Structure 1
Amino acid sequence: MKTVSTTPYNDQKPGTSGLRKKVPVFQQPNYAENFIQSIFDSLEGFEGKTLVIGGDGRYYNREVIQKALKMAAASGFGKVMVGKGGILSTPAASHVIRKYGAFGGIVLSASHNPGGPTEDFGIKYNIGNGGPAPEKITDAIFARTKVIDSYKIVDADDVDLDAIGSVDLAGMTVEIIDPVADYADLMETLFDFSAIRALIGSGFRVVIDSMSAVTGPYAVEILEKRLGAPQGSVRNAEPLPDFGHHHPDPNLVHAKELYDDVMSADGPDFGAASDGDGDRNMVVGKGMFVTPSDSLAVIAANATLAPGYAGGIAGIARSMPTSAAADRVAEKLGIGMYETPTGWKFFGNLLDAGKATVCGEESFGTGSNHVREKDGLWAVLFWLNIIAARKEGVKDIITKHWAEFGRNYYSRHDYEEVDTDAANGLMANLRDKLATLPGQRFGALTVSTADDFAYNDPVDGSVSKNQGIRVLFEGGSRVVFRLSGTGTSGATLRVYVERYEPDAARHGIETQEALADLIAVADEIAEIKARTGRDAPTVIT
């Protein structure tokens, strides 16, 4: 073991999902080492315990794993479990931590952000429940990064990440595991694989686009090998360091080819896509794109159709910007409904306490208490289970759901890589207006309330403030403004627009048309064009 002197970097504050920067930033001398050591320095009681390490296979993944292994050995961990090839999807990493009782895990990913030599990389720490570290830990990590003056590492050869089995690294055991098997086995306990297999065997065509990212091996094992879908049903199945130049974000912009295929006359009956690290999903059926908000609501309403949830669900949790579609399901089922800030870590306490069973975010993330991360393939399998049980297609399931619960017209407008000062100025100006907005009329819309969302955790009592600005209108419509913490360049302004429509006769309006007046009011209130110089969003979902 050797101790290496270092100096702090001033930009290592974790966001909602760890530290994300461009690869050249992480390649600076000691940059990754500083952050990893700061993680270890912020933890207690891990001597001799097990750590899980894996990532989405993006560029620089293998190099950082080798650093982390040698630093874990120097810091006193007894064992590290690593996915073969350095691969572990984020939900699979969560499951491995939980199944084997690991102390925690290091997940190397920048989620849905592009990969490559000049693109994005990320490191985050997950705690023993399998979920992202809570703010008290990420705050401690950041505080440590600002004063760190050395890190510990063993001087040893690199570990062969491609050979399953155990090796010794300076007295610490490194176990290279099959990254897929444990996760696939878990899915088989939750869903009716026999019914899904019969659905596929009947000629129901399913395709999954893994976007040359981490879920390829998982989807091939589950969909093609265990469920009997024809070979090639999983597209872009090989994880590549640059994701094959894809932007691995499963939405209508970056997965348009899949969407167009499913919507074509002779295309598949069902399509799905996953993101870089496997925790997000897009679901498309013949004639129907499913919004993430509606997906959460439909899964919750039909949860008992899956064997793993046959006893019912305890409650539903959603992030504040996610539409209120799931709220109406919770109300009818008579179960708890929890509105949290954006960031999966806020769901962990609710899941651990048994208050919620399923949860979701509008940013294409859905999950349950089976792990402590959102889970893309889980959501896809849940949909296939529902289709197999109801013997109805996606479009029929969605339209019948709207007829029963009403439709929440909903859209997110992203303004990416906005000048950071301009974005911060826009939000500051909005906060200054909050007190004067209630009662103001904008055309036919009247503001009922306006606030900066704060969350009081019902489990541990912690308070999280400044989580997004909400402008609510009479009749149930609303607009939400947030700056995202997942990008690495400039700022991303997210604007969420929602209108509730109970009348089934009005459920066939095109979404942007149904929301047009709210979109215009959002720009007027926030002065988006004037302050950012943008005439239109970068992405609309």
Structure 2
Amino acid sequence: MAIHPLAGQLAPHDSLVNLPELLTSYYLKKPNVEHNAEERVSFGTSGHRGSALSVSFNENHILAISQAIAEYRLSQNITGPLYVGKDTHALSEAAFQTVLSVLTANGVRVRVQLNGGFTPTPVISHAILTHNQTQSDTSDGLVITPSHNPPEDGGIKYNSSKGGPADKEITDWVAKRANDLLLANLVDVKTFSQEEVNASGLIEEFDYISHYVNDLENVIDMEVIAKANIRIGVDPMGGSGIHYWKPIAERYGLDITVVNTEVDPTFRFVPVDKDGRIRMDCSSPYSMSGLLKLKDDFDIAVGNDPDYDRHGIVCAQSGLMNPNAYLGVAIEYLSQHRSLWSKDIQFGKTLVSSGMIDRVIKGVNATLCEVPVGFKWYVEGMYEGAMAFGGEESAGASFLRKDGKVWTTDKDGFILALLAAEILAVTGKDPHSLYMEQVEKYGKPFYKRIDVAATPAQKAILGALDTKNVTQTELAGETITSVLTHAPGNGAAIGGLKVSTENGWFAARPSGTENVYKIYLESFISEQHLAELEEEAKSLVSSVLNA
């Protein structure tokens, strides 16, 4: 894909989302779920997402999803408060009010941010877990966010009583029930008026900020960061964690400068991404270009997406770290500086994350657990304390408390950002310097992800492949050592395939939202070898799809 000429610059005013049109569409446009599959409720790896403008995230969707979740809670005897958070997207506020209307009408107690405001994804996970460890009733949560997606998008995801994204069995049930409700014109959906919501006594204000911030010292060595006087720059990118950094700095005596305090649902202050669209992606050098210009002012600078489940790490000398590179550094550091963690504990990665992580985990004599795409695959292991770290190639991760017990079972951009400062304070080296040491030891990876057009029928074929569909024995000049359609860490279906050789691999999986399939590639030889991998991977997948 060619880089858009405006990439890394602020968007022209006339390209910003039209907020009145967007919000009017949320209430007036009605999905036709009987005849248009794209307008149905569909839970991907991170909940249901869409835009009111394209009739994929509208009031009717949220009415149906909220009712389905209320019914699911009842069926599971979940009687504790439902912890609800929202990010700073325009549709998040609209959906938040819809959610409250339905949940209170169903008699559900709801905990919301004290004095209003926004609540990050990891904070909801943390609140659920701490509640269920100390209270006799059981709680769960809802996060209203499309993550880093553009300003016109909305999203909602259900977090189970184990704190993390609900598993497929749960989300399939919720999606089916929601679509049934939509097909029946929402006749079984219970709602309250605003006045009834306020009078219900079911809305409970909760101090999410203090609850989360005061506990951070149990997962990050805040004292060592303070003593080392690490200068930390933070770009919240207009996201839900913007009001957390000052309390963190004050509570622990840290030198933190928030470089941008703006919150605006057009996100006009975020430079456009490589395709010319505003996307609050803290792993993109284009979206992060504002912070990158300030990197010399800080020892470590960090950015986060709107719901704070992703992290972007900027080192003073080298700039924005590749997400895969930082995951490997974080794993090696944690394995050596968390003395209370079990020695046989697992470190998790997704199948499409860098092979450097495999080499690092082997190098520190730890155990690798490789799972399909989606943080939900880490929930059980982290909840039980058997999984020390779970990370995704898309700049999302979380890890256990210092004592080896669960912290969050959803991605936590705060602790990955603060860990970078801890690493520098303890080792005297920033994460990029430590990554270069890993390259010297394990080899240099060349990594790439591309999208290839595919019909819905082809996507279905790819998602249901069997290893016998691959008959080739070589890939880019090397013998194929493995062909996977199920993850070795937990035996779960990949929804595609991964083909590996000694020094390279590719994985292909269909997109859940677009008519494309994604190819992930990595070579430990050269850029030329990566290009050969790409060519042969496309050819191999094409031969399978057109067989």
Alignment TM class, shorter chain as reference: 0.7 to 0.9
Q: What is aligned with 2:419?
A: 382
> Is the contact between residue 477 and residue 500 of structure 1 (CA under 8 Å) also seen in structure 2?
yes
The C-alpha deviation readout for 1:54-85, integer Å capped at 9, x for no partner, is 11121122222222122112223244344543
Q: What is aligned with 1:421?
A: 455
CA distance in 2, matches of 1:429, 1:351: 27
Out of 511, 525, 531, the position equivalent to 2:537 is 525
The C-alpha deviation readout for 1:263-305, integer Å capped at 9, x for no partner, is xxx4433222111210111112133343222322222221167
One-letter amino acid of the counterpart of residue 521, structure 1: L
Q: What is aligned with 1:182?
A: 211
Offset, 1:346? 0.4
3-state SS in 2 of match to 1:110:
coil
> Is the contact between residue 359 and residue 366 of structure 1 (CA under 8 Å) also seen in structure 2?
yes
Out of 292, 299, 315, the position equivalent to 1:285 is 315
Offset, 1:86? 4.4
Matches within 5 A, 1:239-258: 239-244=263-268, 246=270, 247-251=279-283, 252-258=285-291
The C-alpha deviation readout for 1:206-245, integer Å capped at 9, x for no partner, is 2122111122222333247644325xx2223343323335
Change (3 A) 1:313 1:109: farther
Q: What is aligned with 2:510?
A: 483
CA distance in 1, matches of 2:433, 2:128: 38
Matched, 1:74 2:112: no
Q: What is aligned with 1:3?
A: none
* RMSD value, Cα: 3.3
3-state SS in 1 of match to 2:420:
helix
Offset, 1:347? 0.3
> Is the contact between residue 70 and residue 106 of structure 2 (CA under 8 Å) also seen in structure 1?
yes
> Which stretch has the larger CA shift, 33-42 or 395-404?
395-404
Q: Percent identity?
A: 22
CA distance in 2, matches of 1:530, 1:109: 35
3-state SS in 2 of match to 1:98:
helix
3-state SS in 2 of match to 1:468:
strand
CA distance in 2, matches of 1:56, 1:311: 35
List runs of 5+ in structure 1 lacking aligned partners: 1-5, 160-167, 502-513, 532-541
One-letter amino acid of the counterpart of residue 145, structure 2: S
3-state SS in 1 of match to 2:387:
coil
Matched, 1:39 2:69: yes
Offset, 1:384? 0.8
Q: What is aligned with 1:275?
A: 305
One-letter amino acid of the counterpart of residue 144, structure 1: R
Out of 470, 482, 485, the position equivalent to 1:453 is 485
3-state SS in 1 of match to 2:507:
strand
Q: What is aligned with 1:464?
A: 492
Change (3 A) 1:447 1:84: farther
One-letter amino acid of the counterpart of residue 140, structure 1: W
Matches within 5 A, 1:105-504: 105-115=141-151, 119-148=152-181, 149=184, 150-157=188-195, 169-170=199-200, 172-200=201-229, 204-223=230-249, 226-229=252-255, 233-244=257-268, 246=270, 247-251=279-283, 252-262=285-295, 266-288=296-318, 289-303=320-334, 314-369=345-400, 370-404=407-441, 406-415=442-451, 421=455, 424=458, 428=462, 435-440=469-474, 442=476, 445-449=477-481, 451-455=483-487, 458=490, 464-473=492-501, 475-485=502-512, 490-491=514-515, 493-500=517-524
Offset, 1:526? 1.1
Q: What is aligned with 1:87?
A: 118
> Is the contact between residue 215 and residue 277 of structure 1 (CA under 8 Å) also seen in structure 2?
yes
CA distance in 2, matches of 1:374, 1:282: 13
> Is the contact between residue 369 and residue 489 of structure 2 (CA under 8 Å) also seen in structure 1?
no
Offset, 1:343? 0.5
CA distance in 2, matches of 1:213, 1:367: 19
Matches within 5 A, 1:12-23: 12-23=41-52
Change (3 A) 1:277 1:424: farther
Whichever structure has more strand as a proportion of its residues is 1
> Is the contact between residue 190 and residue 309 of structure 1 (CA under 8 Å) also seen in structure 2?
no
Change (3 A) 1:105 1:316: same
Change (3 A) 1:343 1:191: same
Offset, 1:205? 3.5
CA distance in 2, matches of 1:177, 1:63: 20
CA distance in 1, matches of 2:67, 2:421: 43
List runs of 5+ in structure 2 lacking aligned partners: 1-30, 133-137, 271-278, 401-406
Q: What is aligned with 1:538?
A: none
CA distance in 1, matches of 2:131, 2:339: 20
Change (3 A) 1:143 1:335: same
CA distance in 2, matches of 1:360, 1:125: 20
Poorly superposed stretches of 4+, deviation over 4 Å: 6-10, 26-29, 304-313, 425-434, 527-531
One-letter amino acid of the counterpart of residue 496, structure 2: G
CA distance in 2, matches of 1:476, 1:333: 20
CA distance in 1, matches of 2:91, 2:145: 10
